[in-house]
Amino acid sequence: MTGSVEGRDTDTEPTAAERRAVVAKRVESGSADLTEITQLAAAAGYDVVGELTQTRTEDAAFMFGEGKVAELRDLVRRTDANAVIIDNDVGPYQTFNIGGELPEGVEVIDRFALILEIFGQRANTRKAQLQVELAELRYELPRAEAKASLAKRDERPGFMGLGEYDESVERDIKRQISEIRDELASIAEKEEARREQRRDSGFDLVALAGYTNAGKSTLMRRLAAEIDVDENAERHPDLDTTAESQDMLFTTLGTTTRRAEMEKRDVLLTDTVGFIADLPHWLVESFESTLDSVYRADLVLLVVDASEPVETMREKLVTSHDTLYERNEAPVVTVFNKVDRLAPGELADKRAALSGVAPDPVAVSAKTSAGVAELRDRVEAELPDWERERLVLPLSDDAMSLVSWIHDHGHVEAETYADDQVTLDFEAKPSIVARARSKAAGLAPAGST
């Protein structure tokens, strides 16, 4: 059994507005990594003033061993922390037991409660707010069920200090979950109709996926044109000029869709919430509506932070593939981002080491724009094939309107005029070609009335 404890002594008293936290984590074997939980705490607005880890099997009552909980109490006192953030899935009884050993007023927060807190801070649209509320209710439901079980067994409402149990609480949570799912389903139907409308207009849909802080939002800025077609009908925080330089988790919570600059194809690029390690199924399900933007795209760009260690990249790639290929049928292109941070020769080494999970990645730096032109070419190459067509049209106002429509919805290779006719050679999505043929068949000959 091993463990470590570290704290920073401070000389000044915290103000009421300060949020000072100790982060802690238990692992079954090896060494606990507190990097991500520290970043999450900072994203939620906490100042991390102490760290504690332990390597041992889980203690049913305290998660950690009782001796380690005593160390945690001493660390909280020494650093004057007002919260303990535990990078584990802590049960309701374990939460109560740990809290009972800490100074009065110190809050105990587990990993998923912290993530929900961050999501709540970032939820600026109705859809995002509903998804956060759904996740919070799903988090609370087993805790309500635990209170019900204990209250029935011991005939003592509030057993173990978990709060007084009311039979209606569990039913009310289930009712709210059902109502929110219905409203989200309605929103999803409207968004699917919007996606199909965009496809019918000749747009290919490309989604950015990947772990949070991989640089998806910055890459989107490099690829996007100025036209904003926001899914949420509200100005998204990532469109602010400072968003691309924020080194913060979950700067993107809703979806943002913008037109991307390509040579031939009209592409709409969607950025969405980043993946994060070890999310439980109930939390992922709560954001299913947002993930539909990925699952129902024509192409997915899986963005990976190439500056991370190989094993970290491998783990994230495998987890991302599990998430994407569960429901996604579109091709996936892996993008190694942040290559500007790599030493000479390091990119080649990482390509070789990860060839099994990323056989042909595109290397870019969204920060410097290196490799972005090659990524645009790859996007066009990987999108569903277009169909070639030649139409011979009579010279008329209606024909000229059709020519303009084809320019807007496809890529015109050649346009020639001769003998009161216009010949158009173009490429477009099969659905667009079919509509162009139908429109052409209905054109009257030149000069007819």
Q: What is the pLDDT of residues 86-110, one digit of tens each?
A: 999 888 889 889 999 999 999 999 9
pLDDT, mean of residues 341-361 = 94
**Annotated domain spans of the chain:** 2-119, 123-187, 202-382, 387-441
Residues in the chain: 449
Q: In three state form, how does the secondary structure of the chain look?
A: CEEEEEECCCCCCCCCCCCEEEEEEEECCCCCCCHHHHHHHHHCCCEEEEEEEEECCCECCCECCHHHHHHHHHHHHHHCCCEEEECCCCCHHHHHHHHHHCCCCCEEEEHHHHHHHHHHHHCCCHHHHHHHHHHHHHHHHHHHHHHHHHHHHHCCCCHHHCCCCCHHHHHHHHHHHHHHHHHHHHHHHHHHHHHHHHHHCCCEEEEEEEECCCCHHHHHHHHEEEEECCCCCCCCHHHCCCHHHCCCCCCCCCCEEEEECCCCCCEEEEECCCECCCCCHHHHHHCHHHHHHHHCCCEEEEEEECCCCHHHHHHHHHHHHHHHHHHCCCCEEEEEECHHHCCCCHHHHHHHHCCCCCCCCEECCCCCCCCHHHHHHHHHHHCCCCEEEEEEEECCHHHHHHHHHHHHHCEEEEEEEECCEEEEEEEECHHHHHHHHHHHHCCCCCCCC
**Residue 328 annotated as binding site:** no
Does CATH place domain 387-441 in 3.30.70? yes
**Residue of 282, 248, 335 lying closest to 116 (CA atoms):** 282
**Residue 210 annotated as binding site:** yes
**Residue 100 annotated as binding site:** no
Q: Which CATH number fits domain 2-119: 3.40.50.11060, 3.30.365.10, 3.30.2130.10, 3.40.50.970?
A: 3.40.50.11060
Q: What angle do CA 36, 331, 253 make, to 5 degrees?
A: 35
pLDDT of residue 54: 96
**Residue 212 annotated as binding site:** yes
**Residue 216 annotated as binding site:** yes
Which two three-digit tokens encode residue 141? 């439901």
Residue 56 has pLDDT above 90, yes or no: yes
Q: Do the domains at 202-382 and 387-441 have one common CATH topology? A: no
pLDDT of residue 85: 96
Q: Which CATH class is domain 202-382?
A: alpha beta
**Residue 252 annotated as binding site:** yes
**Residue 264 annotated as binding site:** no
Interatomic CA distance for residues 107 and 250, integer angstroms: 23
pLDDT, mean of residues 284-310 = 82
**Residue 295 annotated as binding site:** no
**Residue 241 annotated as binding site:** no
pLDDT, mean of residues 180-194 = 84
**Residue 273 annotated as binding site:** yes
Q: What is the pLDDT of residues 382-398, one digit of tens each?
A: 988 888 889 989 888 88
